[in-house]
């Protein structure tokens, strides 16, 4: 049971890495900027040592993942409003994309993809009132 739990969080973290490595158009289908950071932290931080202990990630890869988490963390606060609203144009998002790509290469998973299904529900004024997003790993190119 514990390994199934850990496997789930490992796969969720891989999904986030793939999404972080993609252009903003793909990122915004699945997440808002702050949701990417929050979910990344929630998948990584509570499981860091378990990922190492069970062989999901090496200490070197965990260190690189923690760099991404730290990158997000240092951009919290009012001084970085441009970052949190600038996924399309802020240069730091380009840095994050490269960091994620480099980790995927190190893992031998640079061909890993995700399938994203986003279903929106609208009110009578065509405003989105609910959204359900399903993200699945696509390992067919590995």
Q: What is the pLDDT along the chain (142 residues), one digit of tens a residue?
A: 577 999 999 999 999 999 999 999 999 998 888 999 999 999 999 999 999 999 999 999 999 999 999 999 999 877 888 999 999 999 999 999 999 999 999 999 999 999 999 998 999 999 989 989 999 999 999 8
Asked whether the beta carbons of 30 and 82 are under 8 A apart, the reply is no
Tokens of 115: 């399938």
Tokens of 134: 């399903």
Residue with tokens 């279903």: 119
Distances (CA, A) of 97 to 7, 9, 55, 131: 24, 21, 25, 25
The pTM assigned to this predicted structure is 0.91
């Amino acid at each position: 049971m514990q390994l199934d739990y850990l496997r789930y969080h490992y796969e969720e973290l891989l999904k986030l890495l793939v999404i972080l490595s993609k252009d903003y158009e793909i990122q915004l289908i699945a997440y808002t900027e702050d949701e990417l950071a929050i979910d990344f932290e929630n998948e990584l931080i509570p499981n860091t040592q378990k990922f190492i202990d069970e062989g999901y990630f090496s200490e070197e890869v965990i260190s690189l993942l923690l760099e991404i988490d730290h990158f997000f963390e240092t951009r919290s606060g009012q001084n970085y409003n441009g970052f949190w609203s600038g996924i399309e144009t802020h240069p730091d998002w380009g840095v994050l994309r490269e960091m994620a790509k480099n980790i995927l290469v190190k893992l031998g998973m640079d061909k890993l993809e995700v399938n994203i299904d986003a279903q929106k529900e609208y009110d009578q004024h065509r405003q989105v009132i609910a959204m359900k997003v399903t993200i699945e790993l696509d390992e067919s190119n590995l």
